[in-house]
Amino acid sequence: MADWQEITGGITAPRGYQAAGITAGLKPSGLPDLALIFSEVEAIAAGVFTTSQVKAACVDYCRQRLQAKHSARAILCNAGQANAATGNEGWFDALESAMATAQALNISSESVLLASTGVIGQRIKMDALRSGIPKVVAALSETGSDAAGGAIITTDLVTKSIALETTIGDRPVRIGGIAKGSGMIHPNMATMLAFVTCDAVVSPHLWQQMLVRAADRSFNSITVDGDTSTNDSLIALANGQSRTPAITEWGAEAEKLEAMLTAVCQHLAKAIARDGEGATCLIEVEVTGAHDELSARQIAKTIASSSLVKSAIFGRDPNWGRIAAAAGRAGVPFEQENLQIKLGDFLMLENGQPLQFDRAAASTYLKKASVGAYLQQDTVLISVNVGNGYGVGKAWGCDLSYDYVRINAEYTT
């Protein structure tokens, strides 16, 4: 059993955090579009960002800030304009956004981090942002997580939030998070955004290492459509307000904190994959028997990202050949005669040999997932074994429906 429990409160569940989300007039829809997360004290900050060569101004800004200073107090996120591929003007807009936020909060601009999401090539509507920043600061609340989660989404159908609590040094420690993402999801860090808060005391070096590993096992293991965004950002704050002993080196307490951080990130990552544009179910792929974890995750992610596999799941077609083909092209060596494939409880391939199975029942299994309860009974499980190695890895994706094409064909029109 996990050494933590789920609690309410999302991003503001950890001690010493406030959040808000408002409508500032950035989105043409008139929906909430400006979010702010604020720590009452300076917090250790870590970040993992897109590896795309075309990056949003907020990504470059945050990288520079975190290289110079491993702490922050605020994260401002606008939705509606990605502020990516916007040249020098976009960079100056980012600088102004940070300065305006700092002034409204009465903190240093070096303590403000930024995130943006929306249409690539569009600058932030600065007039709306300037007038919105004082309003979002005024709206900050210890119960503002839901409002912030609602203000960062674009094509998402649902908000994504989680909070967990454990005990370290006989005191409760909490980690909360919110995320957005539905399309353009194939993270390489991971459009997706995720923000995490924690009230533990942890050194900057350890916190960054923990976040990188958590990202690899969560956001870097999901896919919706194979497209990596220009704005992918995962930012995590740890403000020490739990008053626990400082975690400065690897040990049992550091392992426990990282495991809970990974669990938070995996929950948010799966929620993003499940909310893929037009998706009807979540796909979870587990690969065992590989040489190492990295190889297993590479095979799993290749299967989860296969358009043919995703289309077959949407068509409720238990076509295991597509799974085998995807595993074979993952770039990871394995012996074909060792390959085993299961769809749910249906064993379809064993020792590289096809088996007889109830195709109608397997199809029914896929149909049930499409109407199952959100992140509970709506998951299609694909299990693949490639040998006798110790490597185990997971990846998550979603099926590929007609609606995905419709949504993206009309994205800016």
Catalytic residue numbers, as ranges: 191
DSSP 358-384: -HHHHHHHHHHHHTSPTTTT-EEEEEE
Enumerate the β-bridge partners of residue 261.
none
Q: Name the nearest CA neighbour of 126 among 181, 78, 69.
A: 78
157's tokens: 């159908």
Q: How far apart are CA 334 and CA 53, in angstroms?
A: 32
Amino acid letter, residue 42: E
Residue with tokens 């199975």: 357
Q: How far apart are CA 224 and CA 151, in angstroms?
A: 22
Enumerate the β-bridge partners of residue 238.
44, 198
- Is residue 316 within 8 A of residue 221, CB to CB? The reply is no
Q: How far apart are CA 161 and CA 19, in angstroms?
A: 13
Q: How far apart are CA 140 and CA 36, in angstroms?
A: 8
Q: How far apart are CA 184 and CA 133, in angstroms?
A: 28
Distances in whole angstroms, Cα of residue 363 to Cα of each of 15, 41, 273, 357: 47, 54, 21, 11
Question: 3-state DSSP call for residue 103?
Answer: helix
Contact residues for 144 (Cβ-Cβ < 8 A; gap 6+): 12, 18, 19, 20, 21
Q: Where are the beta strands (DSSP E) in 291-399?
A: 340-343, 346-350, 353-354, 379-385, 391-398
| Radius of gyration, CA atoms only, the chain | 21
10's tokens: 């999302």
Residue with tokens 């669990």: 263
- Is residue 357 within 8 A of residue 347, CB to CB? The reply is yes
